[in-house]
Every structure is written in structure tokens, then in C-alpha cells.
Chains A and B, each alone.
Chain A
Amino acid sequence: MISPDSNDDDLRKSFRALREFEDKCVPSFQGILAESRSRMEKPAKSLWITMGSGVLTGAVALAILIFANLKSDRPSRTLAETLPMLLPPSAEPNFLSPVSSLSEIDFPSDAVLPLSLRFSL
């Protein structure tokens, strides 16, 4: 064990004087234990406030995340992508695909329909 030097009496004396002052304010051991015990039985209100705020913040963050994901999963469809779903696929060899016709060729609208769907007026 290493002991401090013995020629530090001046410092030791000053610290002893400080200790005497602080010793006057020492709270009783039993009293401080009793207060600790009562504190243990009663959880701080701040704990509930902090927990509540945490849960609320988490829920809001989760909702924002879900909403953002839903939006990104549903990209807006072009007309060319939507049309084939409306028209049943045809095995007819000379069937003209509406997708290509709409995007590339400038036909009158009734010419776009397959022959099977045309009506003679």
C-alpha cells in the first residue's frame, strides 16, 4: 500500500477544516434510508411521461414509415400498361396489340379494336 507523503501537513490541515464544516450538515443515515425506501415505492412521474412520449414518438414514426412504403409500392401506371388489363388477350394471329398501336401508330380509334369486337353499324 502506498501512503501519501508526511510533509503535506498544511494541505491535510486545510482539508480537515473543510471536513469539519461539511460534517455539520450530514443527514442522518436512518432518515436518508427511509427517504430512499419511500422513493423506491413511488415511481417518478417523469418515468411515465418519458415512457408515454417514447411510445407516442415510436407510433408516429412507424405510421410515417408505413405510409411512405405504401406510396412507393404503388407507382402510377401509364395508359399503355393499363390497357392490356382491360382487354382480354386474343389468340388471333392478326390481333393488333393496343399497347403498340397507341404508343407507335396513329390509327383511328375503332381500328384499334380486334375484329371480334367490332360491330357493324
Chain B
Amino acid sequence: MWKWMNQDLALSLETFHRDAFGWACHCCGNGPADPADVLQMAYLKVMEGKARPRNRNVLKTWWFGVIKLTAREEHRRRRLRESLPGRWLFRTSDWETFPPPTTKIELDEVSGSLKSALARLPLRQAEVLHLVFYQDLSISEAAAVMGVTLGSARTHYERAKARLREILEPSSEP
């Protein structure tokens, strides 16, 4: 039934599962897509053989790339469905197969303000910060996930840190 996903790959993906969910949460942000749903569709891509790792040494960065792409596709699909022609086209509804977002994460004040500060950063800057500080990746690994050069990732990283501090500092003062 599984066209391509073998036991070995399944085990590897299981070790990244928590990280992958965190990355899916970041990629979905405040958009209409659900992180659990995105992750599920990314696994589906691997099962169907639509996504295959070329090099097992960079499995994590490849997997994060697949999740990022899937989140974008899901975001577009949900936007289309919410549009007027989309509502007409999908009026028979495929909510059974693709249910609406259900993952609700309750955050405290600090984490909530960090999340909203990240949402205010440009996309690349937010990505590099998440990959480095949340996922503990090196900047070169983050560059591979983001699909940019190391120099570009480093620039995004430096600017992002400065900008994030600027956003967070006023709220952290008494």
C-alpha cells in the first residue's frame, strides 16, 4: 500500500516528529491551515512517493522543506475554498476529508508575545529565527531549509535578531 515509505524512513521521520510539528505550527502561523493537517498531508506525500529524500544525510532539512511547501499549498487551497467561487465549487464540501483547523495551542503571555512578534517580522527573518532558536539548527542548515545561500541566511538572521529585540523590548519593560 505504501508506495515508497519504508520502515527505515518511517523510523527516521518519527524521531523528527516533534520538531516537524513545531515547524508546521510556524509555517501555518495565523493562517487558515492547521499544523496537524499540514503534517498529515506531508506524510501522505512521502507515502505516495511524491516526496523522496535524495540524500539521507540531510533528511531533516529535506523533511522541513516538504512541510514548508505543503503548508503553502494548504494555505492557498484553503484561501481558494473560502473565496466566493471556491464556496460554490466546494459546496458539496470535502470537510470530511479535509476538516477545518482543530489544533488550538494555548500560550502564556511571553510565548504569545513572541509568536505575535514573529508574525510581524518578514517571512525569511521569522523562518531563520525559528530554525535556529526553536529547532536548534545551524545557520547553514537553516539556509538549506529556506532555500537561500548561507550569506543570505546570515544576513536575515542578524537583522531578524535586532528587529525581534526591538519589538519585544517595549513590552518587556515594566
Contacts and interface: CB of A to CB of B under 8 A. Distances in A.
Interface centre among B107, B129, B134 (most CB of A within 10 A): B134
Interface string A29-64: 100110111011110111001100100000000000
A14 interface: yes
Contacts of A22: 21-22, 25, 105
Nearest to A39: B44
Indicate the size class of the contact surface on chain B. 35 or more
Interface of B: 1-2, 10, 13-14, 17-18, 21-22, 25, 36, 39-41, 43-44, 47-48, 89-90, 92-94, 96-98, 103-108, 110-111, 114-115, 129-130, 132-134, 138-141, 150, 154, 157, 161, 164-165, 168
A18 B138 contact: no
Contacts of B94: 44-46
Query: What DSSP secondary structure best describes chain B's contact surface?
Result: helix
Contacts of B110: 14, 17
A27 interface: yes
Indicate the size class of the contact surface on chain A. 35 or more
A19 interface: yes
Contacts of B133: 4, 8, 11-12, 14-15
